A and B are shown apart, each in its own frame.
Chain A
Amino acid sequence: MMPVWVTGVGLATPIGLSNAEVTRSLREARSGIRLWSADNFAKSFPAGIVEGDFDAGFEKRDLPYLDRLTKLSLFAVDQALTEAHLANGFSRFAHRAGVFVGTVMGGAESEYAWLTDHFLKGKQTARPFPMVAGMPNAPASWISIRNQITGPVLTHTAACASSGVAIGDAMRWIRSGDLDIAIAGGCEASLVPPFMGAWDGLRALAKPDSDNVERSCRPFARDRAGLVLSEGAVFFVLESEESARQRGATPLAALSGYGVANDAHHIGSPHSRGQFAAMRSALTDAGLAPGDLSYINAHATATPTGDPVEVVALRELLGEHCDAVPVSSTKSLHGHLLGAASAMELAACLFAIRHDFLPPTAFLDDPDPACALRHIPLCAVPAQHIRHTLTLSAGFGGTNAALVLSRV
Chain B
Amino acid sequence: MLAQSFHRTIPMHSPAWTSDAITAKIAEIALETFGMKLVECDSPIKDSGLDSMALIDIVMGLEEHFGFELPLEKLPPNPSINQFVELVQASAPR
Contacts and interface: CB of A to CB of B under 8 A. Distances in A.
Q: Do A and B bind each other?
A: yes
Interface of A: 59-61, 64-65, 121-125, 127-129, 132
Contact of A124 (B2, B35, B53): B2
A226 to B, nearest CB: 37
Interface centre among B1, B3, B34, B50 (most CB of A within 10 A): B34
A65 B57 CA distance: 12
Given A59-B35, A60-B34, A125-B60, A132 B1 contact: no
Contact of A61 (B1, B34, B56): B34
A64 B56 contact: no
Interface in B6-23: none
Contact of A60 (B2, B4, B35, B57): B35
Contacts of A64: 33-34, 57
A118 to B, nearest CB: 8
B23 to A, nearest CB: 19
Given A122-B2, A123-B5, A125-B60, A132 B35 contact: no
A59 B48 CA distance: 14
Closest 10 CB pairs of A and B: A60-B35, A61-B34, A128-B53, A124-B4, A128-B56, A122-B2, A128-B57, A127-B57, A122-B1, A122-B5
The binding surface of chain B is classed by DSSP as loop
Nearest to A123: B5
B4 A123 contact: yes
A90 B57 CA distance: 32
Nearest to B63: A125
A122 B7 CA distance: 11
B35 A61 contact: yes
A122 B3 contact: yes
Nearest to A126: B60
A61 B2 contact: no
Contacts of A123: 4-5
B58 to A, nearest CB: 10
Contacts of B5: 121-124
Nearest to B2: A122
B49 interface: yes
